[in-house]
Structure 1
Amino acid sequence: MRSKLLDSIPESYFGKTMGRKLDIGSKPLINTAVGIPDQKVPAEVLETVQSAVQEPANNKYGVFRGKEALKEAIQKFYLDTYGVELDKDEEICILYGTKNGLVNLPLCVIEPGEGVLLPNPGYTDYLAGVKLARGTVYELPLLPANHYWPDFDALDSAVLADTRLIYLNYPSNPTGAVATRAGFDAVVRRFRGTQTKIVHDFAYAAFGFDAKNPSILQSPGAKDVAVEIYSLSKGFNMSGVRIGFAVGNKDIIGALNYYQDHTQVGMWGVVQEAAVSALKLGEPFLETQNAIFRKRRDQVTDFLTETGIPFEPMQGGIFLWLRIPPGYKSEEYVDYLLKTQSILTTPGLPFGSNGDDYIRISLAISDEEIEELLIRLKETAGLYQ
């Protein structure tokens, strides 16, 4: 038995596809479909987990809104990394994985019927949060000609007037596009003082190949209008730990904390101590991560350019946005690659209608797999002629 509200939400693409049985070709499978980091959890984090498990206080109910040590670590990390000062009590919300925050946010801040602008293409599960809040979904088209940056002037004025929340995501999943400080400055200026608020999904913050990725909170006045949601899953290789945080506008942060007071009972202290340990590693560790993916980006894009297979510039994140050959749609081409080359990719269509001419390829695979991936992709070059 499901409510009509729950039934209105499309099936989760990644929930449906992770772990499914695959009909692959004769070659060994190369799985580029999921953005799970391929590096190890930092040794310092694992050592912290081992000792924290034995601490009796960590195996009892904890403070609902998180340990002071974790909030202080987040404060220091944002100050050291982005030069942004945060109030640990009013401008930080600890999240049980950033997906929870991204999906729950509309329920906390919009009324039924109010509009939310979602990027197209964009992360698939933003939609579920708007549906659960009974909001109205508006599309925010992101186009190659504008480097996948939103053109708010091109939107209908009535849509903008009805919009209460805008989702942004840079570095972009799935396109690999990045934001600039000037771009964020302009967005903050435009919506500051209006009824519209901004949530910036900063999951791939660590990965900026041509320049360091800016935080939207670095823009003047950003805390009046924006929150940023940061994940430890990608940069710190902690996807299974399920921890992240939201920072910024105190009203939105307050609403998220209030919501979690009623839906959660304090995060396990072991997980919080693991996060503290990771954040203390700071930028030096993240730059090592970034260098790994920068090298992979350069290797793959140089090869594809030489081979004549078209793709969008990959400036950040861990995903390559690859154009598919003429005569295919994204889901058809995913099936083709799986059956002929044993390469599992992600179709662009689940990310929005503007994605149907693309597939998403994760570079979170081993160097050996990348070498083999390129050999197999070269065999498809003739399809583009």
Structure 2
Amino acid sequence: MVMSDRLAQIPDSYFGKTMGRTIEHGPLPLINMAVGIPDGETPKGILDCFAEAIRKPENQKYVAFHGKETFKQAIVDFYQRQFGVELDKEDEVCILYGTKNGLVALPTCIVNPGENVLLPDPGYTDYLAGVQLAGAQPQPLVLTPPYYLPQWHNVDTDVLLNTRLVYLTYPNNPTGSVATKDVFDEAIAQFKGTKTKIVHDFAYSAFGFDHKNPSILQSEGAKDLAVEVFSLSKGYNMSGFRVGFAVGNKDIIQALKKYQTHTHAGMFGALQDAATFALNHYDDFLVYQNEIFKARRDKFTAKLIEAGIPFEPMQGGIFLWLKTPENYDSERFEAYLLKEKSILVAPGIPFGEHGRGYVRISLAVDDERLMEAAERLQSLKHLYK
């Protein structure tokens, strides 16, 4: 095999090697609760806009590297409407070809080899690859139950001094925890006047069950050191479109834009038109999405509580963080659920060392299968005695 040393040292992407594989399971019909892809259809108006945009001659050619003015303006208007945050569409907006691309590229853009990057543990699996590709040093930002929020005083001072980037993600993938504005205020205050920058992964922004999820950019001084990465995949059921954007600190944004001029040649114009239409016309759909997943959370967790099966509070996002029974680590329990109950979940260990005693359950399945899965899990209550 021909592979650079740097690439060879990076573990295979967990979801890259598991999505699309043939699943061998027990005798019951398979219920796939492993993947965070909302199960609803893309709204018809967005699809109609996309179909019409494909036929436009100007969309069949190269477009501006940094995006159409209409798309960037839609992003600016959306953030003003939703969060009361003002953005400069040229200096503070970077269009992304799927948010994962931006999140993985960011360390290469602003971190030097040997410098520290703090990664939430537990947190999204592919942050690590971006740090390793940059030759930087990953350091854990340990998040503890039940609320999984940063405890800055618990991070070693020497680690903080050499830290150049911190990843935050709320609603948290995989734990379903959320942050208040106070949490972001504290993070900004912690790193104000230092060389450390913050990236907030806001992929599940639409899903806040007890209160609307705040943007980190609502905190005073946030633009001095933070960017936020927003995805259209989850809230708008547009995961296959691979469209997102980063907003915030102009220096980080310019670094990302420079990087993309060497790796991409402009997003397909029709995709930009569809994303523009979504941002401009589907605020109500985001509310509807939130209501769907809140109702699923309520029904699913009621079944678990009834059976005495422990889980962490799910206050947002689309994932439930389920404790494994005693004497089961996450991978063994994943295999057990698949064999005995034909339920496919994600083991906790790819999300960090502190995921060993958990599995991640996606609620992105229809209500009938969700309740069937809950009843199958209820039958395992003896394992938790």
Q: What TM bracket, shorter-length normalisation? A: over 0.9
Q: In structure 1, what residue type is equivalent to 2:40?
A: Q
Counterpart position of 2:263: 263
**Partners of 2:116 and 2:371 in 1: CA distance:** 45
**Partners of 2:60 and 2:134 in 1: CA distance:** 34
**Partners of 2:281 and 2:175 in 1: CA distance:** 28
**Partners of 2:27 and 2:343 in 1: CA distance:** 11
**Partners of 1:20 and 1:283 in 2: CA distance:** 35
1:22-61 residue pairs with structure 2 within 5 A?
22-61=23-62
**Partners of 2:282 and 2:48 in 1: CA distance:** 17
Deviations 1:94-137 (A, max 9, x none): 00000000000000001111110001111000000000100011
**Partners of 1:328 and 1:335 in 2: CA distance:** 10
**Partners of 2:71 and 2:306 in 1: CA distance:** 47
Counterpart position of 1:155: 155
**Partners of 1:56 and 1:167 in 2: CA distance:** 40
Counterpart position of 2:172: 172
Counterpart position of 2:192: 192
Contact 2:50 2:271 in 1 (8 A): yes
Counterpart position of 2:283: 283
Q: Determine helix, strand or coil for the equivalent of 1:144.
A: coil
Q: Is 1:224 aligned to 2:224, yes or no?
A: yes
Counterpart position of 1:65: 66
Counterpart position of 2:110: 109
**Partners of 1:311 and 1:224 in 2: CA distance:** 37
Counterpart position of 1:330: 330
Report the RMSD for the aligned CA atoms in angstroms. Answer: 0.6
Q: Determine helix, strand or coil for the equivalent of 1:247.
A: strand
**Partners of 1:16 and 1:288 in 2: CA distance:** 33
Q: Which runs of no fewer than 5 residues in structure 1 stay unpaired?
A: none
Shift of 1:282: 4.0
Shift of 1:306: 1.4
Q: Determine helix, strand or coil for the equivalent of 1:245.
A: strand
Q: In structure 1, what residue type is equivalent to 2:244?
A: G
Q: Is 1:303 aligned to 2:303, yes or no?
A: yes
**Partners of 2:225 and 2:64 in 1: CA distance:** 28
Q: Is 1:241 aligned to 2:238, yes or no?
A: no
Q: Determine helix, strand or coil for the equivalent of 1:240.
A: helix
**Partners of 2:282 and 2:91 in 1: CA distance:** 23
Q: In structure 1, what residue type is equivalent to 2:93?
A: I
Flag as ranges the 4+ runs of structure 1 deviating above 2 A: none
Deviations 1:232-273 (A, max 9, x none): 000000000000000000000000001101110000001000
**Partners of 2:317 and 2:244 in 1: CA distance:** 17
Counterpart position of 1:3: 4
**Partners of 1:32 and 1:261 in 2: CA distance:** 37
**Partners of 2:307 and 2:321 in 1: CA distance:** 16
**Partners of 1:110 and 1:340 in 2: CA distance:** 46
Distance 1:83 1:282, change over 3 A: farther
Q: Determine helix, strand or coil for the equivalent of 2:359.
A: strand
Counterpart position of 1:381: 381
Q: Determine helix, strand or coil for the equivalent of 2:26.
A: coil
Shift of 1:302: 1.5
1:204-219 residue pairs with structure 2 within 5 A?
204-219=204-219
Contact 2:170 2:204 in 1 (8 A): yes
Length-normalised TM-score, structure 2: 0.99
Counterpart position of 1:319: 319
**Partners of 1:186 and 1:118 in 2: CA distance:** 17
Q: Which runs of no fewer than 5 residues in structure 2 stay unpaired?
A: none
For this pair of structures, how many residues does the alignment match?
384
1:119-158 residue pairs with structure 2 within 5 A?
119-145=120-146, 147-158=147-158
**Partners of 1:189 and 1:160 in 2: CA distance:** 14
Shift of 1:32: 0.1
Q: In structure 1, what residue type is equivalent to 2:20?
A: G
Q: In structure 2, what residue type is equivalent to 1:370?
A: L
Deviations 1:180-205 (A, max 9, x none): 00111111111111100000000000
Counterpart position of 1:351: 351
Counterpart position of 1:273: 273
Shift of 1:281: 2.5
**Partners of 2:371 and 2:349 in 1: CA distance:** 27
Contact 1:77 1:282 in 2 (8 A): no
Contact 1:176 1:316 in 2 (8 A): yes
Contact 2:46 2:274 in 1 (8 A): yes
Q: Determine helix, strand or coil for the equivalent of 2:247.
A: strand
Contact 2:303 2:375 in 1 (8 A): no
